[in-house]
Amino acid sequence: MNYISVPYTDRVLDIEIPEGNLVFDVEPEEAPPTADINKTLRNALEHPIGAIPLSKSINSGQKILIIADDFTRLTPSRDIIPVLLDTLNQAGIRDRDIRLIIASGAHRTMKQSEVEVKYSGTVKSRIEILIHHYKDPGELMDYGKTRHGTHILINRCIAEADFVIAVGHIIPHHPAGWSGGAKAILPGIAGEETIAQLHILGAMSSKLGEVNSVMREEMEEVAERVGLDFILNVVLNCQGEIVDAVSGHFVQAHRAGVDLSRKIYAKAIPSKSDLTISSTSPIDHDFFQGDKGIFTAGLTTRTGGEIVLVTGCLEGINPNRPELASLVGKLTNTQILNNIQRGKISDLLMASEAITLNDAKQTHQITIVSDGLTPDMCQIMGFNHLTPESLGSYIRQHLDQTPSLKVGLLRQSTSIYPIPPIG
């Protein structure tokens, strides 16, 4: 017997799988962290891609806005932001002329204790940290519409700044293709309507690992329109440690960062499985985050096979959108789209999530292993439910029934980009 440990929130679940049945056990590539974080960040800032160095781009007295991500992302902001602040200081910018806004998109508002952990007391004592409220029209400015018709509503703090810098990390992302770059603007500091329209577009067109996706084009059009001047993006290893960094133009520097990230997170698999165990830890706050592991596993599991999503979801479906379960369970995608056109569904972000989940149900059986999602929630959505403690016996039953069953395991499945064999 081969014992494998499946990460789950705050512990691991030990499962027995014969070696002959385990066709892949895939996780991001082991990559050593940089020996000197500050040096790596400074080097990136001194050698921007597609842009001139910050020291030549900004002037003393200018107002600087930093856009950085929230608690749902692993970006080590408490290490990155102080280096960026020091670089700005050296260029003549005082701390009192710098503000940071947390690009939380449509996620729940961070607690002050979470802000403290994410950004450190040092950063909080140096600059003002703002929280983006995507539903507050008073915070938003109207920039017209994109070529696809997306109504551009962006936090007005960007218009109040003379120079805007986005900080984040680059990993594979569903449905944006890859995170980082212009994504800090949209959906990061966009209004509810804008975020929703973007995700509807992504639900209908974008794919994991696709660089020049329709969704990415939309984000970059908006970033150009509102004025994103510079990015500082890092590439992390599977422990969340900084491996490398890029800075510069939000397109050119981002693409260079994708090339670096691909070496860690794009992983070939030898063959598709009949059943894929998809472990989302440590990205498992709620189902809006954890369900990305379904779409990843869809690439590795044969049509008609089973995806077993192992995800804590201790905040449930989503603090802002608990109604997702009923939408997925009751309506087909055609009905969802028709109801959107008739104005019967106003929450387009929730609708986009429902569309992608309905698509997944058409091709695979889905089982959710979670303490945060109840059996009733899963049943309504058309999924099976298991407790974490019953996962091992569930897999053994499958193996007893089908001795030749091909089983695969994806670790950190919300971040990895598995590449199945052609054909």
Residue 278: closest CA among 263, 292, 293: 293
Question: Per the structure block, which two tokens stand in for 122?
Answer: 């040092």
Identity of the residue numbered 111: K
Residues 6+ apart with CB under 8 A from 8: 279, 281, 310, 312, 369, 388
pLDDT (tens digit, 9 = 90+) per residue, 278-288?
A: 999 988 889 98
pLDDT at 387 over 90: yes
For residue 163, name the pLDDT band (cuts at 50, 70, 90): very high
Residues 3-38: tens digit of each pLDDT: 899 999 989 999 999 999 999 999 999 899 999 999
Residue 215 amino acid letter: M
Residue 298: Cβ within 10 Å count: 22
Q: How do 128-131 and 98-103 pair as beta strands? A: parallel
CATH number of 37-264: 3.40.50.11440
pTM for the whole structure:
0.87
Q: How far apart are CA 89 and CA 311, in angstroms?
A: 42
Please report which confidence band the pLDDT of residue 348 belongs to, taking 50, 70 and 90 as the band edges: confident
Reply yes or no: is the peptide bond before residue 48 cis, omega within 30 of 0. no
- Does 271 score more than 60 pLDDT? yes
State the greatest distance between any 2 C-alpha atoms of the chain, in Å, as a whole number: 71
Q: 105 φ, ψ to 5°?
A: 55, -130
Q: Which of 291, 266, 257 minimizes the C-alpha distance to 168?
A: 257
Please state the φ and ψ torsions of residue 293, each to the nearest 5 degrees.
-70, -20
Least confident of 39-48, 70-79, 355-364, 384-393: 70-79
Average pLDDT of span 54-71: 93
Q: Are 218 and 198 in contact (CB under 8 A)?
A: yes
Phi, psi of 203 (to 5 degrees): -65, -30
The gap between the terminal CA atoms of the chain, to the nearest Å, is: 31
Residue-wise pLDDT tens digits, 82-96: 999 999 999 999 999
Domain range annotation of the chain: 2-27+269-419, 37-264
Q: Are 326 and 386 in contact (CB under 8 A)?
A: no
Q: How many residues does the chain have?
A: 423
CB 19 within 8 A of CB 293: no
**Region of poorest pLDDT, from 115-129, 306-320, 342-356:** 342-356
CA 130 to each of CA 165, 422, 423: distance values in angstroms, whole numbers, following the listed order = 15, 47, 49
**Dihedral of the alpha carbons of 298, 300, 303, 309, in degrees to the nearest 10:** -50
| Alpha-carbon separation of residue 27 from 18, 256, 413, 418 (angstroms) | 19, 22, 8, 9
As given in the structure block, the two tokens for residue 204 are 């209908």
Is 169 in a helix, a strand, or coil? strand
pLDDT of amino acid 152: 97
3-class state of residue 91 by DSSP: coil
The domain 2-27+269-419 belongs to what CATH superfamily? LarA, C-terminal domain (3.90.226.30)
Q: Is 207 helix (H, G, I), strand (E, B) or coil?
A: coil
Q: Do 392 and 14 contact (CB within 8 A), yes or no?
A: yes
| Rounded-to-integer distance, Cα 69 and Cα 173, Å | 14
**Above pLDDT 90, what percent of the chain?**
71
Answer whether residue 295 shows pLDDT above 60.
yes
The two tokens of residue 92 are 């003549």
pLDDT class for 420, splitting at 50, 70, 90? Answer: confident
The rounded distance, in Å, linking the Cα atoms of 100 and 350 is 28
How confident is the model at residue 72, as a pLDDT?
Answer: 74
The confidence score (pLDDT) of residue 423 equals: 55
Taking residues 41-69, what's their average pLDDT?
Answer: 95
- Predicted confidence at residue 322, as pLDDT, reads 77
> What is the rounded distance in angstroms from the CA atom of residue 312 to the CA atom of residue 286?
7
Residues 6+ apart with CB under 8 A from 272: 300, 301, 302, 305, 406, 408, 420, 421
pLDDT for position 206? 65
| Per-residue pLDDT reduced to its tens digit, 390-419 | 999 999 999 999 999 999 999 999 999 999
